[in-house]
Structure 1
Amino acid sequence: MRPQLTEEQAARYSRDEVLRYTGAAGNDVTDPWLPAPLVATAILLDFTVGQGGSHATVQQAVNAALVQGRGGRVAIGIMPGVHEGLVYVPPAPFALTLIGLGRRADDVMLLSNIDAEMPGPEYRRRFQAQFADAPAQVASIFRRIAATDRITTANASVVRVENNDFQLLNLTIRNSYGADRVQPDSTETNAAGQFRKGQHQAVALLIAGADRVQVQDVALRSFQDTLYLQSPARGRTVRTCLTGCDIEGDVDFIFGQSTAWFERCQIRSLGTRAPQAWATAPSTDICTRHGFVFNDCDFTHDGSPAALAGRFSLGRQWFEGVRATPYGQPTVPGYRCDLGAVSGYDPPSGTISRATLQSVGKCVILRSRIGAHINRAAPWDDWNGNSWNPRYRPAQYRASDMLDALSGWLRGQDITFEDVDPAMVFLGEYDNQNS
Structure 2
Amino acid sequence: MRPQLTPAQAAGYTRSQVLRYVGSAGAERDDPWTPEPLDPARLVPDYVVGSGCDADGVQTAVNLAIAEGRTGRVVIGIAAGTHAGLVYLPRGAARFTLVGLGDHPADVVLSENIDAEMSGTEYSAKFGQSFAQAHASVRSIHDRIAALDTITTANASVIRVEADGTQLVNLTVRNTYNCDRAQGGSDDRNAAGQFTTGQHQAVALLVAGADRVQVQNVALKSFQDTLYLQSPTRGETVRSCFTDCDIEGDVDFIFGQSTAWFARCTIRTLTSRAAKSWATAPSTDIRTRFGFVFHDCHFTHDGHARPGQFHLGRQWFEGVRATPFGLPDISGYRVTIGPTSAYHAPVGTISLATLNAVGKCVILHSRIAGHIDAASPWDAWSGNTWNPRHRPVLYRAADMLSPLADWLRQQGQSYDDICPDTIFLGEYGNSTA
- Residue 42 of structure 1: CA displacement? 1.1
Deviations along 1:89-148, one digit per CA (max 9) or x if unpaired, are 001201100000000000000000000010110001011111111110100000000000
Name the counterpart of 1:120.
120
Q: How does 1:270-419 map to 2 (within 5 A)?
A: 270-304=270-304, 307-419=305-417
Deviations along 1:342-400, one digit per CA (max 9) or x if unpaired, are 10001000000000000000000000000000000000000011100110000010000
| Aligned mates of 2:52, 2:423 — CA distance in 1 | 52
Contact 1:177 1:202 in 2 (8 A): yes
Name the counterpart of 1:35.
35
- Residue 309 of structure 1: CA displacement? 2.2
| Aligned mates of 1:389, 1:359 — CA distance in 2 | 18
Name the counterpart of 1:202.
202
Give secondary structure in 2 for the equivalent of 1:350.
Answer: strand
Contact 1:308 1:372 in 2 (8 A): no
Contact 1:187 1:197 in 2 (8 A): no
Are the structure 2 counterparts of residues 14 and 185 from structure 1 closer, same or farther at C-alpha, using a change threshold of 3 Å? Answer: farther
Q: How does 1:147-166 map to 2 (within 5 A)?
A: 147-166=147-166
Unaligned stretches of 5+ residues in structure 1? none
TM-score by length of 1: 0.99
AA aligned opposite 2:362:
V
- Residue 412 of structure 1: CA displacement? 1.5
Name the counterpart of 1:82.
82
| Aligned mates of 1:424, 1:186 — CA distance in 2 | 43
- Residue 310 of structure 1: CA displacement? 3.4
Are the structure 2 counterparts of residues 185 and 259 from structure 1 closer, same or farther at C-alpha, using a change threshold of 3 Å? Answer: farther
AA aligned opposite 1:154:
A
AA aligned opposite 2:8:
E
Identity of aligned residues (%): 62
- Residue 51 of structure 1: CA displacement? 1.4
- Residue 52 of structure 1: CA displacement? 2.2
Name the counterpart of 1:182.
182
- Residue 185 of structure 1: CA displacement? 6.1
AA aligned opposite 1:400:
A
Matched, 1:430 2:420: no
RMSD across aligned C-alpha pairs, in angstroms?
A: 0.7
How many residues end up aligned between the 2 structures? 433
TM-score by length of 2: 0.99
| Aligned mates of 1:68, 1:186 — CA distance in 2 | 50
Give secondary structure in 2 for the equivalent of 1:170.
Answer: strand
Give secondary structure in 2 for the equivalent of 1:355.
Answer: helix
| Aligned mates of 1:30, 1:329 — CA distance in 2 | 41
| Aligned mates of 1:159, 1:366 — CA distance in 2 | 29
- Residue 317 of structure 1: CA displacement? 0.1
Give secondary structure in 2 for the equivalent of 1:314.
Answer: strand
Give secondary structure in 1 for the equivalent of 2:328.
Answer: coil
| Aligned mates of 1:52, 1:119 — CA distance in 2 | 35
Contact 1:185 1:197 in 2 (8 A): no
Moved over 2 A (4+): 308-311
